[in-house]
Every structure is written in structure tokens, then in C-alpha cells.
Structure 1
Amino acid sequence: MAYRHLLVETNEGVATLTVNRPQSLNALNSEVLDELQAALDTLEADRTVKAVVLTGAGEKAFVAGADIKEMAAMTSHQAHTFAAKGQKVMLTLERMTTPVIAAVNGFALGGGLELALGCDFIYASEKAKVGFPEVTLGIMPGFGGTQNLSRLIGANKAKELIFTGKMIAADQALAWGIVNQLCAAEDLVPKALETARGIARVGTLGVAYAKDAIGSGLDMSREDGFRYEASLFGVLFATQDQREGMAAFVEKRKAEFKGA
């Protein structure tokens, strides 16, 4: 499928998905959100894709936010619909069995930070800056930012970032636990791809079930999370991947996982 604002490239079981509106710092408008939804649905359905790297075109921005020019004229009802559209994309990222790594190459503000937070984890350029500037526009995050950031770094730090509208540098984002790893700008996407290829080589179902256990467990009590984990662990013992992985270990050879 051809996209107006996205680039999709697949190699060695890894898809690179690039938001491609550099003239607008890759800002998210309704059309971009629709294309992201379609692309993520397509990648999730493609069983040859084992991992995804999500990044932004150009050197300045990952995604600088939602498109303010579009939002400025919205009615209350239209804004609610726009937020719901954005939240659907973020929930799709979270619920995909395919892991997604955000490679934040520049500004990740507002909807851009929300997009990165929807991914499984974030690698960032040392030049990146992140934040939620919505309050400086008289609004608030609307694509899940209040929920995802507070779950990731705790309510107090999330409140500080959201209430002040300030941007923080990549090293502070790392210290706060928003970002997993910092990279030199030229090394960012190659490093993310290296990690994605490593994920692509292991048991696809094991990764998918582990992602489910972590995400679902966050909304459960600890004991319920333990029980859910045990149930998924048991289900994996009915798969070809489990038999292949353990046979390969015993036979001292490389496993050939099929995702079945």
C-alpha cells in the first residue's frame, strides 16, 4: 500500500516505519493518524514482520506534536473525535503482538511523545528533546499521555512534565526512565535496527506472549498477573516454537522459529 506521509521498508524480518512530513516536523494530523493506523494493522497482519522500528524523517524531529493548524479550528466534538483517533493508534501500538521500538531522532513533543510512549521502548538521539507543551496552548495531552507517562515514570514526575509544559533534554529523559538508551544521532536508527533484528531472531510467540503478560499485568493485581503469566507460559508448551527452541538447545544448534 502506498502512503502519502509514511515510508515503510522491510528487511530481515524488521520493518522501518517513518513518519514523513519533514516540512511540518512530522506533525500528526488526521490523515497521518489514519495512515499510521492502516500501516500498523498491515504490519501486524504480516507474519514475516517480527519487529518494527518507528522513527521520523529528517534531522529535526521524530514527531513535533499534533498539527496545531488543524486543531485550532476544531469544535469540542471534533477535538474529542481527534483525540479518540490518536488514542486508537496508541492502543494499537500497545496491543500489537509485534514489538515496536521508537527511534526518537529529534523533537518528540505532545502527540509525538505520546506516539513514542505507545511503543514498547524508546531509543533516542543525544540531541532529542521531549515534553508535553499542550498546557501552553490552553489544552492537555489527548492521545493517552496522561495515562502512559504516569504509569511509566510515576505520577509526580508526570505531573511536573505535563503541568509545566517544559521540554527536557535526552539525558534527563534517560534519567527519568522515559528513554531506554541514548545514541549519537548517526547511530540511532542502526542501533534500533540491531536490537529489532535481535528480537526478530528469537521465538516470535514467546515475545508476543511476554508483551501481553507485561501489558495486561499492569492492570491486574500482582497475584492475578502471576496467574496470567503462568497460563501463557503453559500455552507456549503447546507450540512448535517451544519444541524447536528446546530441541535446538539440547542439540547445540541454532533454532529455526516459525511463529507457530
Structure 2
Amino acid sequence: MHCARSFLAQWKTSTTSSSLLFRRTLILQTFSEPVKLEKLSDSDSGIVGLKLDRPEAKNAIGKEMLRGLRNAIDDIARDPSAKVLVLSSAVPRVFCAGADLKERRVMNPSEVQQFVNSLRSTFSSLEELSIPTIAVIEGAALGGGLEMILSCDLRICGGDATFSMPETGLAIIPGAGGTQRLPRIVGRSIAKELIFTGRRFDSKEALSMGLVNYCVPAGEAYLKALQISREINQKGPLAVKMAKQAINQGLEVELSSALAMEEECYEQILNTQDRLEGLAAFAEKRKPRYIGK
């Protein structure tokens, strides 16, 4: 079911700069029982949370969760008010244990291929979102869980986070984008070693190899992601989208073509109201009021 229910709730969150608590209205949409969207409001309007919530299976990705992920990502892509996405887990001490191997055991080869193709497509849709995406990792991100966070723009982990691509131990390969995104992030040699051996590595190693942008004390990764989201949320939304497009598309081609792409992206923001507002706010020494136009 695309959207099982929608309701208002109250959410409390602490800031990293003080111990004060702020009440914020939360619009919660459930796309499937394991997948929920949280749309923050008030001063945090524009920040969207995508939460995995399948505690009985450590957020293992089965058919229902995959369907929920796809529907939620499609909803975000259609939402003009969304400016930043934070992907996290509602289950303590685990981000995602990977594919649901109990479901996998009863699939025939054709069904397995169809599922993996759909998983790969879903992660590509996550990667192709026009807004910045931030993955929050507390606990284990294994197999498909690691492939999921590789599809995000930024990754922040807690000190107890662990990572692995164990697929070769099951006589398969990371088939949802892992063999392609991991070497692009950490380098070819490191990616080969991690995929060939399937070994687990911890948060400190993840930080040292550049897999994650920040490693913070356990339990504080979401607050760090919220802090970064708020910083992004204050910037010109069209500029942020064009910057992401220029970076992502430019990295796939040689430099002269990439510079031409950058020029095209820059031209798209020249005649916007936001650009003029940014100049006016700078001259008047005030915070800009961007409207995304």
C-alpha cells in the first residue's frame, strides 16, 4: 500500500550547541511498515527523514521494504518542498543487515535476478535524487545496507558502526551497485580487498578510507546529520541542486566536458530570484530568504 497513514506528531530533538530541547511538528507517512518518511516543519521545513524500521529482521531488505523504499524515494523526488534527505534506522544498534536471506532462499534464480535488479534500480533512484542525501549509520551496515549508504551523498557514522560486503562468502557479488560505487568512493585497490575478503571493518577504518565523512560518538550520528542538514537548508536550494548535478555528472566524463556541464548548471541559476536575494542579503548584512525560484 503506497501510503498507509499520515498523521501529525510532536518530535523533540536536541541541538549540538546546547542542551535545550525544541518541539517540532512532524508529519509522518508510512509507505510500508518497515519504511517511514518524516517531514520536519517550522525552521527545519525542507528536511525529510527516511527511516528503516524492521526490528525483527535487523532491517534486512525484503520485498515489502524494497517496495516501501521505492515508493518513498519517488514521493521525495516529486516533493518540491524537500531540500535535504536524512536516511537512518529506527532500530537500535543496526542500520541494515543486508538482503533478507530467508526470503532469498525460497526464490528461484529468475526471481533472485529480478529482486536484485529492482534493488539496484532503487538505489540508483536514491543516488539520482536532486537534493543532498545524508546516511546515518549506527551499528551494522552490511551487504545491501552498505550498498544503500553508498548511494547517498554524505555518510555519518557512530563510533560503534561496522561495515562489510560479505557477498563473496555466499558465492555471489555485491549486485546492487556495490562493485561500482565502493571503488569510486574509497579507491579501486581498497574496494577490491574489501569485496574479495568480505571482512568487517569498524568506524575508524571507514573514516580513514574516506567511506564516511564524519565519525562521532555512538548515538550522536543523527544529531550530526541534522546539524549538517540545517546548514544545507539555509543555502539556496536551486544552487545546491545544481552543484550536486554538476559534481555527479562531471565525474563521469573527461574534464573539458565536465567544465561545459558546470557552465550549463551555472547558467540555470543566473536569472533566479534566489541569486538576486543572495546579493541583496549580503549587501544588507542579513540572512537571505530563499524561495527556490
TM-score (norm 1): 0.97
The corresponding residue for 1:60 is: 93
CA contact (8 A) 2:33 2:54 kept: no
CA contact (8 A) 1:108 1:129 kept: yes
How do residues 222-233 of structure 1 correspond to structure 2 at under 5 angstroms?
Answer: 222-233=255-266
CA contact (8 A) 1:50 1:204 kept: yes
Greater share of helix: 1
1:72 shift after superposition = 1.9
Choose the corresponding residue for 2:135, options 92, 98, 102: 102
1:160 shift after superposition = 0.3
The corresponding residue for 2:169 is: 136
* Structure 2: gaps of 5 or more residues: 4-29
CA contact (8 A) 2:61 2:144 kept: yes
Determine the C-alpha separation between the residues in 2 that align with 1:214 and 1:34.
29
Residue by residue over 1:102-141, the C-alpha shift from the partner in whole angstroms, topping out at 9 and shown as x without a partner, is: 0001100100000000011100011000110011111111
Residue by residue over 1:154-182, the C-alpha shift from the partner in whole angstroms, topping out at 9 and shown as x without a partner, is: 11110000000111001001111101101
Greater RCO structure (CA 8 Å; 6+ sep): 1
1:64 shift after superposition = 1.0
Determine the C-alpha separation between the residues in 1 that align with 2:89 and 2:119.
17
Between the aligned residues of both structures, percent identity stands at: 38
Aligned Cα RMSD in Å? 1.1
CA contact (8 A) 1:25 1:60 kept: no
Kindly provide the amino acid, as one letter, of the partner of residue 9 in structure 1: E
When the two structures are aligned, how many residues end up with a matched partner? 260
Greater share of strand: 2
The corresponding residue for 2:195 is: 162
SS at match of 1:108: strand
Kindly provide the amino acid, as one letter, of the partner of residue 42 in structure 1: D
The corresponding residue for 1:21 is: 54
TM-score (norm 2): 0.86
CA contact (8 A) 2:136 2:157 kept: yes
* Structure 1: gaps of 5 or more residues: none
How do residues 19-58 of structure 1 correspond to structure 2 at under 5 angstroms?
Answer: 19-58=52-91
CA contact (8 A) 1:17 1:55 kept: yes
Runs (4+) of structure 1 moved beyond 3 Å? none
Kindly provide the amino acid, as one letter, of the partner of residue 230 in structure 1: E
